[in-house]
């Protein structure tokens, strides 16, 4: 799973979000590192929807504009949990080796 996709799924964990909402949430969650462009966002959403990880919650048509709200499906939540576990165990393996070799004491938990 690539980093933008990971953050999109993370952003959709709590409440349904629309396109711009996702872009803002991803930027905030990644500490300003991942700034999604609309093209990339919708390509990722198409892929996630095709895989059944994300579904449309509702649509709002207001004043000539259309906002679709996306939310994580059960499969999506399971996929994100699996990705988190994978990343955590990968990080633990690397941290262990670094600690043994160089006395690295990383792996601090962010709140």
Partner 1 sequence: MSELERSYRRLLRAYPGFYRRERELEILTTVLDAAEPGQVRPSRGEAAALLLTGLRCRFVPPTRAGKLATAIVAVWAALVLSGAGALAVWAFADPEPPRLAALSDDLVGRDPSVTYELPGDNLLDMAYAYKTHSEFQDYANEGWTGRHPAPMGESRIYERVTPTPTALADAYRRVTSAGWRAGARSPGAFWAYRDGVLLRVSGSGEQTGMRVSAYPIEPRGVLAGAIAGFVLGLIVASQAMTWLAHRVARTPLPTRRLIVLLGLPALVASAVNTLDCVLSMLPDPGTANVLFAADYMYPLANQLANPLAAGVIALTLTAVVALTARAARRRPANAAALADS
43 touching partner 1, by CB under 8 A: yes
46 touching partner 1, by CB under 8 A: yes
- Do the Cβ atoms of 6 and 83 come closer than 8 Å? yes
Distance in Å, CB of 23 to partner 1, minimum: 6
- Among the listed ranges 7-15, 33-41, 76-84, 89-97, the one in contact with partner 1 (CB under 8 A) is 33-41
Question: What is the per-residue DSSP string for 41-87?
Answer: HHHHHHHHHHTTSEEEEEEEEETTEEEEEEEE-HHHHHHHHHHHHHH
29 touching partner 1, by CB under 8 A: no
Q: What are phi and psi of 37, to 5 degrees?
A: -90, 155
9 touching partner 1, by CB under 8 A: no
**Rounded distance between C-alpha atoms, residue 52 and residue 94, angstroms:** 32
81 touching partner 1, by CB under 8 A: no
Distance in Å, CB of 37 to partner 1, minimum: 4
106 contacts: CB under 8 Å, gap ≥ 6? 95, 98
Q: What residue ranges bind partner 1 (CB under 8 A)?
A: 18-20, 23, 37-43, 46, 49-50, 55-56, 59, 65-68
């Amino acid at each position: 799973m690539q980093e933008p996709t990971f953050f999109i799924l993370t952003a959709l964990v709590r409440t349904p979000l629309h396109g711009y909402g996702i872009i803002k949430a991803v930027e905030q969650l990644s500490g300003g590192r991942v700034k999604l462009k609309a093209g990339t966002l919708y390509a990722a959403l198409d892929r996630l929807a095709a895989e059944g990880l994300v579904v449309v919650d509702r649509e709002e048509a207001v004043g000539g504009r259309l906002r679709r709200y996306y939310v994580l499906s059960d499969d999506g939540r399971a996929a994100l949990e699996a990705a988190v576990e994978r990343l955590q165990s990968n990080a633990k393996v690397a941290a262990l080796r670094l600690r043994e070799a160089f006395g690295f004491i990383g792996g601090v938990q962010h709140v």
